[in-house]
Structure 1
């Protein structure tokens, strides 16, 4: 009897010790617990990739993601027994960002950023769900990140961090009644949590640049309010307790706390730094008891009764510890070093998805036979969605649009036809029959030369060949010809004028003059019978006034054979003598 009482006392002390924490967070290879800003305990895990974290207050169990594990990606750990449970099988291509658990339905939810999907798995005793989980939502443009569960009202909430159109959405636990609750005033909602008692959602928004904010709103998205607006924080995970809000700042690897306030409160509160880390923490949860959350809330009575009855969850999932080491998406064949791959996977270790890079412009799915099948986006076709149905469809600058998976050409004004292949021309005259040897054209009187249409426009609607006539004037060619012709005519006139002038100048007489000045000779003025002049008078005469010339007999024979151009100069130089002395 005494022994039993001692065991019960030790068990109660252990439960009280485990529950004496305010927040827990994942840091590298361990889960750390804090109370009043001090470390109270840590749970070491043989891994270095602990990320997302969730807390099940009904079963006193932490759920976390381990990116470095070989066989499983999501684990559960009972805080009272310290038992570690592998819950979800690891996939080779996944990026789990958010994690949440509903204790009433015993469903585990998580977001996969790589796959743009939300998955779930039942943890009820005897559940035989797929070890990889079941698909709840598959998104095209949304990028899911954080996820939270409103157990009292049966909703899941998640954030979409696609900055082109960020949203906060919710849906029933079975995926029905999907709604967008917040789509304005947000940039990148990276985390979300729910305060059941206050009927509010809180989220952390990593805004553009260095700004950030902590926001709140009603469960339906109304009455949105900014709790904190600041700079130089990079929030990653957010948690709420009875009195405080907690979040992790990736920018400085710190944890911050902010007391919760109401709209009626006029005192402005500032966030308080709790502690900082050498490494980078990822996930955070707060110890928010079910009694504190459900007290006085009519919708939460089912959750309150569940916490009193202490229901159990399945702790015997068949996740082989050695299967992931050898077979990534399959099971090991007993007695052999071979893998039996799951549907949709292939390869020696089942490491290759049949959908990997299979569909070029579409979504890939796996058939019951395990084959890849593409659902093409609008405008594409082919087994792998590799064919653009608008490629080279519309001619002559026509625009191709897809209507009900059929390409339709929108032609410019000058063309028509199914592919814009026919030119709109009023002068086009169809030929009577397509087998005529000679082509005729109804041309105007100004121009009778036929001009065939372009190769794309030879066929009319009735299948006959047509030809077009030009109108006698080319706006580009004819002005150039006119300008060149005018210039050529002016050039010919100028050449004729220059040639005439040259011929006239050649007909003028060439007058040769010679002036002889000899020393000791009789002055010219004393010989009036001879045609002689003084050098001074000669210099004052022009060529027409010179009265006499040197007789040919007095010229040396050597000068007679000289060139005419140099004759006068040489004769003058040869007869020059020094002037007289005065």
Structure 2
């Protein structure tokens, strides 16, 4: 019996080692996940007809990806995928009688409250991933909108706020925030005659990053912008000369990644978080893509900053 037990332990360890690999960004491409490290493909997962990936976010604490499915023939809207065990689990079900009307625009995960937030055509909703929590299987509505669609959504886990980009009739575009309980809605930043998309928050720099349309005659290019979390010190970090507007944006310890909307470009791109005027983006040559998420460890997020005990408390206790 002891030998059998020891054999099972060894097999378990070997399986864990076989599934472990280093990566810095994962790309979602319809039914596939592709993991890259320093620009090289290191691992891929093919889900076949079971999944069509539209959005994804990384839960670094539990080493899992939270994936929005665009496959309207499935009754599940959001899945979780454990990177180590390869277990794919359904989380949130589709709500509408006509599932073709339901589409997730953006997702964000808060490791402190263990809640997943997302935007669709006129709401921000949430779903708890805490073990034992009894959820509404369709998610719970946090905020409903009357005027227009919320796009990018991001979480400030240090302070407990949700931020989102909001396009009001194409005339007044805002970045707004509320505490995670949904109270006391506040406008953080207003931008006239542009479209804000792909909002992300970096705890380490205490900044938000987003993409913005830049009109150029008949065409539009885009810019990547940053600002403090109170809307001050706004800065344009990069203006794209090729009009390859992003469909997704993500941030890591050192870089900002984006996925171009143009399906003919089989690259995702990255620039440093604090670029100079001469900085050129670096390509990560993905075979295919639709969205992406960068890996960003909790240790790196809180390095050198004060007043973020909520994230610091998630780190493993030394000696345990």
- State TM-score, norm by structure 2: 0.87
Provide the secondary structure at the position in 1 that maps to 2:315.
helix
1:184, 1:164 → 2: CA distance?
9
Of structures 1 and 2, the larger Rg is shown by 1
Provide the secondary structure at the position in 2 that maps to 1:293.
helix
Map 1:456-475 to 2 at 5 A.
none
Question: Would you identify which runs of 4 or more consecutive aligned residues in structure 1 move more than 4 Å?
Answer: 1-5
Q: Which moved more, 1:207-216 or 1:7-16?
A: 7-16
Equivalent of residue 117 in structure 1, options 123, 127, 139: 123
Q: Are 2:217 and 1:206 equivalent residues in the alignment?
A: no
1:52, 1:206 → 2: CA distance?
21
Partner of 2:281: 271
2:76, 2:13 → 1: CA distance?
36
Q: Are 2:80 and 1:84 equivalent residues in the alignment?
A: no
Q: Give the superposition deviation at 1:3.
A: 4.2
Distance 1:274 1:186, change over 3 A: farther
1:276, 1:104 → 2: CA distance?
32
Equivalent of residue 269 in structure 2, options 240, 247, 256: 256
Provide the secondary structure at the position in 1 that maps to 2:240.
strand
Contact 1:206 1:235 in 2 (8 A): no
Q: Are 2:254 and 1:243 equivalent residues in the alignment?
A: yes
Q: Give the superposition deviation at 1:7.
A: 4.5
Partner of 1:224: 234
Provide the secondary structure at the position in 2 that maps to 1:184.
strand
Q: Are 2:308 and 1:306 equivalent residues in the alignment?
A: no
2:173, 2:18 → 1: CA distance?
44
Distance 1:270 1:101, change over 3 A: same
Partner of 2:14: 10
Partner of 1:35: 37
Cα displacement string for residues 290-313 of structure 1 (whole angstroms, at most 9, x for unaligned residues): 11112233332222222326xxxx
Partner of 1:374: none
1:49, 1:72 → 2: CA distance?
11
1:267, 1:90 → 2: CA distance?
45
1:111, 1:149 → 2: CA distance?
13
Partner of 2:195: 188
Q: Are 2:99 and 1:95 equivalent residues in the alignment?
A: no
2:8, 2:76 → 1: CA distance?
38
Cα displacement string for residues 326-363 of structure 1 (whole angstroms, at most 9, x for unaligned residues): xxxxxxxxxxxxxxxxxxxxxxxxxxxxxxxxxxxxxx
Gaps of 5+ in 1: 310-582
Contact 2:197 2:210 in 1 (8 A): yes
Contact 2:157 2:310 in 1 (8 A): no
Contact 2:260 2:268 in 1 (8 A): yes
Partner of 1:46: 48
Contact 1:210 1:233 in 2 (8 A): no
Distance 1:80 1:238, change over 3 A: same
Map 1:289-328 to 2 at 5 A.
289-308=297-316
2:154, 2:285 → 1: CA distance?
25
Provide the secondary structure at the position in 1 that maps to 2:48.
coil
Map 1:181-580 to 2 at 5 A.
181-184=188-191, 187-208=194-215, 209-231=219-241, 232-251=243-262, 252-253=264-265, 254-261=267-274, 268-275=278-285, 277=287, 281-308=289-316
Contact 2:173 2:192 in 1 (8 A): no
Q: Give the superposition deviation at 1:10.
A: 2.6
2:23, 2:58 → 1: CA distance?
13
1:221, 1:11 → 2: CA distance?
47
1:49, 1:9 → 2: CA distance?
31
Provide the secondary structure at the position in 1 that maps to 2:17.
helix
Cα displacement string for residues 75-108 of structure 1 (whole angstroms, at most 9, x for unaligned residues): 0011111111111011223111111111111111
Gaps of 5+ in 2: none
1:261, 1:201 → 2: CA distance?
13
Aligned residues: 300
Distance 1:121 1:128, change over 3 A: same
Contact 1:23 1:287 in 2 (8 A): yes
Q: Which moved more, 1:162-171 or 1:22-31?
A: 162-171
Contact 2:154 2:163 in 1 (8 A): yes
Distance 1:76 1:38, change over 3 A: same
